[in-house]
Amino acid sequence: SLAWGFRNPQGRLNMLEQGDAAPNAPYATVDGSKASIAGHKGRKLVLYFYPKDDTTGCTREAQDFTALAGEFAKAGADLVGISKDSVKSHAKFIGKYDLKVALGSDERGAGPINLHVRRDAGFKPIGRHAGTAAILCIVTATHRVSEHRNARCFGQANRLS
């Protein structure tokens, strides 16, 4: 089974369902400023979570989203990839592959990456998952969770566009 939750500041796990308000989770941007999920209110938001910059699957995923960034923009959707890598690592990753997708850092695991996924083994932070699995969360312009799922890195962007 797959269920989703967000650990609140008090440490309690709040479950997220389709239609729920998206959590106002902060993250650091490549330019060093702070942003949050709530900052995208009024626009659709496609959040994708990935384990590590400059790995085969994560690079391919970021390149796929970059190739389709114009189509997402035309549809009124912001794209943000989030990992626990530092903003310095993100800047290097963006430069090396000429990525056109925003990358957010949640190094301390206190923001969006603090989302948890429940599989049959229990709740686990998604930032610590292994393999090529990626987590995708779509937030509507009214700041509601539209969809969230476990996804494969390869082809994820094409399935959404």
Active-site residue set: 58
Distance CA 6, CA 38 (A): 15
| Triad 34, 104, 111: Cα angle to 5° | 70
Q: Which of 4, 6, 101 is nearest to 58 (CA)?
A: 101
| Triad 22, 26, 27: Cα angle to 5° | 120
Count of helix runs (H) and strand runs (E) in the chain:
4, 11
